[in-house]
Amino acid sequence: MYISREDKEFLIQELSVELHAKLDGGRKNLIVPVCPYCGHTGGKFGIYVGPETAKKKLFMGHCFSCGHTTTDVNQLLDDIGRSDLRIEETASFGPVAVPQFFTLDEDEIDDELNIVEMPEGWKRCYKNPYLKSRGFSFDDYEFFPVGTTRGLNFKFDDYVVFPIIDNGDIVGYISRHTWDKQRIDEYNTQARLNGKYEIRRYNNSGCKEGENDFVKLLYNYDAIVEDETDTVIICEGVFDVIALTRKLDLYENHRIAAVATFGKKISDAQIYKLQAKGVRTVIIGYDGDAVGSINAAAQKLNEYFDTYIAFIEDPTQDFDSMDFWDIYDVFSTNLKTPIEYGLNVVQL
Ligand SMILES: [Zn+2]
């Protein structure tokens, strides 16, 4: 059954009042203090209000005491004596109608995410010499949590570690060594000679059992506000997202958000995540040297969104290295459609 976003919000409100229910920490479930089926107290009855998945339907209810499950919202409403709130099948199609989900086979997309532990000793910081050298501002620390393991975990000495947050949950992390490439290379040459461990520039989650594959994640996903954010700029990495947000002052801008795909590729799962929040327009902001990858991503995205490419003429530049006016120029005069990009850039 299709439930419009207005209906969803309204029903959450009504159910909260009717059943004295409260949203849980992740805002994915309404916790009902007294089960309407068995009367058991202690918040054993939950109603799912998170994003729909193959297994989880909106407003499905389950009691962990009596085991009663309802999968149909109207059944639940009848059962609690609020048939007046029943969702009519046809009346709830808004002008936007159903998003383009049907173009992707929902069952094939596994978007279930596990919660991931940050490295031992990790603590958020609001000051860091390395991040300062990369232009971090007060707002950046506020909006983009980052921390270190403060010398308590040798595997992460000299790394800055950014949690990847999805619907309020930590679902991964990006860990970047604070030395520059040259210093790491020099160190590793010595380390190889002496049989010591080499330093990796990145030391990310995803290696341990139960940690999510990065193809299922988007950095800064929660900055996309469902049905408010129309346009998403797709970057390669964490530092691109933060630099772009800072330089274009997007912190509080709910119309436009920047996210990262952790490389120059976009997966079906990532596309689905953007669709699920009602995004309509995407701008690919991958580094200028990535012509082939940009073209491939553009073809793929163009099936689902109005797609543009932020064409950065200088292939050595990216959002992190460009200043406000360079970036402004790209967005004001150098947005290309996939066809224009194909004709003008790919064939150069
Ligand atoms: Zn029960």
Q: State mean pLDDT over 228-250.
A: 95
Q: What average pLDDT is seen over the chain? A: 89
Place of tokens 């436009």: 256
Q: What is the DSSP string of 59-123?
A: T-EEETTT--EE--HHHHHHHTT-GGGPPPTTTT--TT-S-GGGGS-GGG--------PPPTT-E
46 CA distance to ligand 1 middle (Å): 10
Query: In whole angstroms, what is the distance from residue 155 CA to residue 262 CA?
Result: 22
Distances in Å between the alpha carbon of 76 and those of 35, 58, 192? Answer: 12, 12, 64
Residues recorded for the chain: 348
114 CA distance to ligand 1 middle (Å): 27
pLDDT of residue 285: 94
62 CA distance to ligand 1 middle (Å): 8
pLDDT of residue 44: 83
215 CA distance to ligand 1 middle (Å): 38
**Which residues are found with C-beta within 5 Å of the ion, ligand 1?**
35, 37-38, 40, 63, 65-66
Q: State mean pLDDT over 314-339.
A: 88
pLDDT of residue 102: 41
* Residue 98 confidence (pLDDT) above 60: no
Measure the CA angle with vertex 253, ends 93 and 175; round to 5°.
105
* Residue 276 confidence (pLDDT) above 80: yes
* Residue 212 confidence (pLDDT) above 50: yes
Q: State mean pLDDT over 132-158.
A: 95
The 3-class SS string of 168-204 reads: CEEEEEEEEECCCHHHHHHHHHHHHHHCCCCCCCECC
* Residue 213 confidence (pLDDT) above 60: yes
244 CA distance to ligand 1 middle (Å): 49
Domains of the chain are 5-98 (3.90.580), 123-194 (no CATH), 214-346 (3.40.1360.10)
61 CA distance to ligand 1 middle (Å): 10
Closest CA to 89 of 208, 4, 190, 213: 4
* Residue 99 confidence (pLDDT) above 80: no
* Residue 105 confidence (pLDDT) above 60: no
pLDDT of residue 347: 63
pLDDT of residue 158: 95
Which of 77-81, 320-324, 344-348 bottoms out in mean pLDDT, i.e. has the lowest?
Answer: 344-348
330 CA distance to ligand 1 middle (Å): 57
The one-letter amino acid code at 146 reads: V
* Residue 297 confidence (pLDDT) above 60: yes
Which of 95-109, 117-131, 234-248 bottoms out in mean pLDDT, i.e. has the lowest?
Answer: 95-109
Judging by beta carbons within 10 Å of its beta carbon (0-12, 13-18, 19+), is residue 205 exposed, middle or buried? buried
Query: In whole angstroms, what is the distance from residue 65 CA to residue 123 CA?
Result: 37
Q: State mean pLDDT over 21-26.
A: 79
19 CA distance to ligand 1 middle (Å): 13
Give Cβ neighbours of residue 73 (< 8 Å, ≥ 6 apart). 1, 3, 11, 58, 59, 60, 87
| Three-state DSSP class for residue 283 | strand
27 CA distance to ligand 1 middle (Å): 21
Q: State mean pLDDT over 39-68.
A: 86
84 CA distance to ligand 1 middle (Å): 23
| Three-state DSSP class for residue 270 | helix
* Residue 96 confidence (pLDDT) above 50: no
201 CA distance to ligand 1 middle (Å): 51
43 CA distance to ligand 1 middle (Å): 10
Query: In whole angstroms, what is the distance from residue 13 CA to residue 95 CA?
Result: 23
77 CA distance to ligand 1 middle (Å): 16
Over residues 167-186, the pLDDT tens digits come to: 999 999 999 999 999 999 99
Query: In whole angstroms, what is the distance from residue 323 CA to residue 100 CA?
Result: 36
